[in-house]
Structure formats: C-alpha cells, structure tokens
Amino acid sequence: MDLHILDHRLRVTSICKNGLVNFTHPLIKLIFLRNRARCKFFSLTETPENYTVVLDEEGFKELQPSEHLLVESSVWLPLNVVSNGNSSSSSQAVGVTKIAKSVIAPLAQQHVSVFMLSTYQTDFILVREKDLAVVINTLEEEFNIYREVGGEYSAVLSQDVCNGFQKNGKEAPQLTVHPLLIPQNQFCVMSLDPDTLPAIATTLIDVLFYSNSPKEGALPSQDLDCIKFFSFSLIDGYVSLVMDTEAQRQFPADLLFTSSSRELWRMVRIGGHPLGFDECGIVAQISQPLADNNISAYYISTFSFDHALVPEEDIVSVIEMLQQHRKEPAC
Amino acid sequence: MDLHILDHRLRVTSICKNGLVNFTHPLIKLIFLRNRARCKFFSLTETPENYTVVLDEEGFKELQPSEHLLVESSVWLPLNVVSNGNSSSSSQAVGVTKIAKSVIAPLAQQHVSVFMLSTYQTDFILVREKDLAVVINTLEEEFNIYREVGGEYSAVLSQDVCNGFQKNGKEAPQLTVHPLLIPQNQFCVMSLDPDTLPAIATTLIDVLFYSNSPKEGALPSQDLDCIKFFSFSLIDGYVSLVMDTEAQRQFPADLLFTSSSRELWRMVRIGGHPLGFDECGIVAQISQPLADNNISAYYISTFSFDHALVPEEDIVSVIEMLQQHRKEPAC
C-alpha cells in the first residue's frame, strides 16, 4: 500500500462557543467562496465544548487572533493511505479500522501523537511536522511513502529524512484509560457535489452559525442524552458532512448522499476531560479492538475530545469489546 | 389617494466599511434566516462611504453596540402612498416622482426632514416619529390617512394627534444647493421571489460581504467614474435589489426580474459632504423638476448621501433641468 504525505501544512484551532459570531465572516468565506479564499484544506466541527477548525496556512491567515481563538502550536501534516490494488482487500471494514494495525498502532508504539480526521472520502491521519522523520521511519516497512509537492508525488526514502535517527525503544507507552460516552443520536456521513454547495448554503449557515439561538416555533431539544456534533469539511474540493439525523432533516434529501442509503452510525466519545494533543495511543486504544473484530469506524478528533463512529447495529458489541479491551493489560 | 403610516418603528444606522466583518453574523441572520429573526423591515445599502442599515426595532436588537456602528437617534416611521384607483393616473412616471408634489414638497415646506427609500415594489417615505403630528396635519388635505396597527388599518383624524398644533408659516426654508455627482454605471432595480432567496445566497453574500476583498483572477475595477452602490431590502416579505450591471452579471439571470426587461437607470448622487438628517427639502429639490417633466425616479437616502435613479435615456435632460432649477431662486 502507499502512504501519501499531502501538501498541506495544517493548523488545529478552536473557537469558543460564544466567540463564533466573531468568526462568521472568515468561516463563510472559507466554506462558500472558494474563489476568494485560497484554502484547500478546511474542516469545522461543532461539539458541545467548542468549534474545532483545522485548516491550511492560507486558510489560517483568514482567522484574526482573538481571545476566542485557541491555536495548537504545531504545524500538522495530513497522511493518507491509498489502496493501490495490490493490498489484500479481504477486509470489508472502512475508515480508521483499515489503518488501525498498519498506521495507528505503530505510530502509538513510537509515541507519535496523531489527530484523526475521517471524512466521507477518506481518513486523514494528521501528525506533527516535527514527527515526520519518526513517522517515515516507522511506516516505511509497511508502505511505499510518497510526498506531494505542488501536485506531484515523489517517493520518500527514509535515509533522506532520518539522518541517523533511531526508533524509540519498544517500551509500551503508559496508556490512560479515558471514560467513554455513548450518546443516543444516530449519525450520517455524507457528501454532496461541491457545485451544489450553494444550494444548501442557507441551511448549512443556519445549522453551523445559528443553531444555538432559538428558532421561532421550534421547541428546544429536551434530549439530554443526545450530543451536539456537526462536522463539515471541504478538502481538495471534496465535501464531507457528518451530522445527526435531526440535523439531516433540515437539508434537502436530494442533494446529500451517503455511500449506502440509510446508513446510520452511533458515536463513542472518548475523554472525560479534554485530551490535549500530546498523549499517544488514544486512537489505537479504540481502533485496535475494532480492527480485531473487523468493524468499520470513522474517527474524528477535535480540540477537546475524540469521536469514533461505528455502525448502528454494532454499537452494543463495540461497547462490550471496548470495555473488555480496557480490562486487559496494555499490550 | 390614501397614505398609510406603517406599523414599523425604524432605526437608521451606519456600519463603517472596515467594521462590516463584525456584523456579518447578525446581518446574514436578518437577510436569510427569517425563521430566526423577527425583523420585518430590513434594508442594507452599500455606498463608497459605509453601509446604511435601516431596520425595525426587532432587527435593531440584533446589532450589538460597537465603535463601528452609528445610530441616528430618532425613531422613524415609514409612510406609503397607495393609489386606490380614484386618483387620476395620467402620469406614467413611477417612484418618487409620483409623490413629489403631494408629499415631498408639502413636507419640505413644513420643515419636515424625510429619509426616502424606494424599492422595486414601492416608495417608503420615512419621517421622524416626533414629526408625525405635523406630517398628518400637512398631508390630510391631500390624503386619507390610515395608521397600521397589528395588520389593521384605522383612519387617522388630524384632531386626534394634533392637539391644537399649528402649521408652520409659509416662509420657505433656506435651501442649500448640494453638489451633484453623476456616476457612469448603469443600475437595475430588481426583485425576486423571496422563496428563491436561498438560491442566490452565496452570490449575495459574496457581493455584500466580500466584494471589497480581491477575488482570485479578477482585475480590480479601474473605472474611477463608477460608484459602488448596492442596495438590498426585505420588507414585509418583499425583496428589492438595486445594483449596477456589473454586479448583476454575477447573479443567475433567471431568478431576478425587473418590471420591464433591460430597464436601466442612471444615478444622480446628491451631496458633496455628508448631508446629515436635519436638513429639509433635499428630496424636494430633486423630485420637483422631475415631476414637472414627468420623469420617473427611484430615490434612496443613505446615512451620508442621497441617490436618485432616473431612466438611462433621460439622464442628459435630467442633468440639464437640475442645473437650470438650481439657478432659479428657491420657490
């Protein structure tokens, strides 16, 4: 299989809930006005805590410094696993499950912190630019690694970047067991033709920027077991949307599509208090048992917490296996 | 003819050019999310100086106080002349021309300051709430006056409001002759079905909120004789748009309509320095000669200047007659 190091230098930021009004202008530009913004990698995820915005440096320039904006200090690079047809495709599982053993586990082993961003189209594994040498050194046994520069891919050789770099020892990192939250809402992972984005503009704007203000005639949701979670990304021209079925009902049914109709997902939210960016192995803890059981999963990291989405019909067994896995000593 | 005093209490405000980003959130709500904003009277006009926002008290609540926001201190009430079929309709002229002699001139005579807002559908004459008694007293000879309260119209009798009020004397106000500017752009006055507003949302957002930032691949306009002028209003569910032909080209041709196809207008801009809100007779100065010559005109006041729009084919004779009128002693 091939691993691509994509040509985006990303920043991971967070806008606080009541600060969003101050960022409406740049965010609408980044989402809807591709002629004006030069941003090629943009992702916005609303959670109960805040809005996580991941974007490239061109996009980051649009965000004015503010007390409402937190910025993780590193530059992050997105990696992307490309099945080039040579791999054994016996696994039907999609998402982070596919890369759990080949990417996620080895990086955790090497104490590399990852920030995951699954989309409708693919799964981006974000790693810190400063960790790139160890990433390449760790993954080159499993992958042909290519680095994208200006649209061209060239093979990366470990000796080019590693300069006598030594792998970390095999000592397993000390894993924290984070609490899991299982909200009741059902989620969809969807896409739409980017040319039809204007057709859903007012609905998307409403959901993204005004869903916390009361709507005339609408009753506030009383369901405390449901979680606010909405993710939009526009990456290299591809749109991906993750929303619960309640939000989905606000969009015209004929424009958004899922990979298979009526495919619903349940969420496992990881973390009782904000996870930070330095702990390694969080994604591995979750994706390992899913891979062992061949259960598909999307995985979306945000500024404060991580979120795995698993098929609705598997949620009971997933909860069981995660609880089981946690009782075992860290491998 | 009937004169309606509409049930909107309006504020006239101005947002400075570089302050618009701070008002994107409330303005997009007011324009596109009618379910969320209770505003029934909203008008936004961009000129080279600033953005003039006229809106009712419900809408005004959405605008947070800011160094970027100027607010005229009065409450303004919109008046509206309704042809009830009894009037002689020999005049084919539309817009402010129709009401020049019956409304504009008498109010100027009585030192009542007016703020004009022509739209595709009608012409709103805004007067200060505190001037209402003199307005009614002045116009009741010519009109049956009705006041709208909660959707119901009831006749207003002068003695109800005037309390022994005496008209001002016949002494003519001292008129200032303001410089006129005649930009080269051609304008259209258009409307669209409010249900199709979402279909033009991204274009309208682009034009309103991002037109001052450079667009990739677009050359900046070099034409210094053209003026930046764009007006959007959403009043009682009716949409009106005034824009030049360059802006018009950005919109889908099949959604916007004009009263007659390819009807183009030229602008006469009144004022060399900001006009303020207290001078009376400015609209009268312009509309009087237009009425004498039966030339249609839209008239849009903004925070700093006034703007008359006349049919393209009449612009030469309008300039001539306005210059002639100004040489004559004030009548």
Amino acid B331: pLDDT: 45
Q: Do B198 and A203 touch (CB under 8 A)?
A: yes
CA-to-CA separations, A101 to A98, A285, A288, B199, in angstroms, rounded: 8, 11, 7, 46
Q: Which amino acid is at B295?
A: I
Residue of B nearest to A35 (CA): B216
Amino acid A158: pLDDT: 75
Give the closest of A36, A197, A205 to B213, CB-based.
A36
Give the closest of A24, A36, A38 to B28, CB-based.
A24
Residues of chain B contacting residue A217, judged by C-beta atoms under 8 Å apart: 35
- Quick one: which H or E segment has residue A320? helix A315-327
- Rounded-to-integer distance, Cα A289 and Cα B51, Å: 58
Give the closest of A32, A199, A210 to B36, CB-based.
A210
Residues of chain A contacting residue B68, judged by C-beta atoms under 8 Å apart: none
Nearest in space to A30 (alpha carbons), one of A66, A64, A58: A58
Amino acid B225: pLDDT: 87
Amino acid A271: pLDDT: 87
Residue of A nearest to B33 (CA): A206
- Rounded-to-integer distance, Cα B303 and Cα B325, Å: 25
Q: Do B201 and A202 touch (CB under 8 A)?
A: yes
Residue of B nearest to A214 (CA): B36
Amino acid A87: pLDDT: 47
Residue of A nearest to B198 (CA): A202
CA-to-CA separations, B280 to B113, B122, B285, in angstroms, rounded: 5, 22, 10
Amino acid B249: pLDDT: 94
Residues of chain B contacting residue A216, judged by C-beta atoms under 8 Å apart: 35-36, 38
Residue of A nearest to B64 (CA): A21
CA distance to partner chain B, nearest, from residue A211 (Å):
10
Q: Do A35 and B209 touch (CB under 8 A)?
A: no
- Rounded-to-integer distance, Cα A236 and Cα A42, Å: 9
Residues of chain A with pLDDT under 70: 84-92, 162-174, 213-224, 260-262, 328-331
Do residues A105 and A330 lie in contact, with contact meaning Cβ atoms separated by under 8 Å? no
Give the mean pLDDT of chain A.
Answer: 88
Token digits of residue B121: 């559908």
CA distance to partner chain B, nearest, from residue A37 (Å):
8
Query: ipTM value of the model?
Result: 0.84
Q: How many CB pairs under 8 A join A and B?
A: 74
Select the residue from A31, A36, A63, A212 to test the B interface by mutation, using most B Cβ atoms within 10 A.
A36
Select the residue from A20, A22, A28 to test the B interface by mutation, using most B Cβ atoms within 10 A.
A28
CA distance to partner chain A, nearest, from residue B217 (Å):
8
Q: What is the pTM of this model?
A: 0.88
Amino acid B87: pLDDT: 47
Q: Do A202 and B36 touch (CB under 8 A)?
A: no
Q: Do B216 and A29 touch (CB under 8 A)?
A: no
Amino acid A199: pLDDT: 93
Residues of chain B with pLDDT under 70: 84-92, 162-174, 213-224, 260-262, 328-331
Q: Do B28 and A28 touch (CB under 8 A)?
A: yes
Q: Which residues from B are below 8 Å from A when comparing CB atoms?
A: 20-22, 24-26, 28-29, 32-33, 35-36, 38, 197-199, 201-203, 205-206, 209-210, 213-217
- Sort B57 into a burial class: Cβ within 10 Å, 0-12 / 13-18 / 19+: middle
Go through the domains of chain A in sequence order and give each one's CATH number. 1-163+175-211+225-330 (3.30.2130.10)
pLDDT in tens, A245-262: 999 999 998 889 887 656
Amino acid A164: pLDDT: 55
In sequence order, what are the residues at sequence separation of 6 or more whose Cβ sits closer than 8 angstroms to the Cβ of residue A30? A37, A39, A42, A55, A59, A62, A234
Give the closest of A29, A38, A201 to B210, CB-based.
A29
φ and ψ at residue A247, rounded to 5 degrees? -65, -40
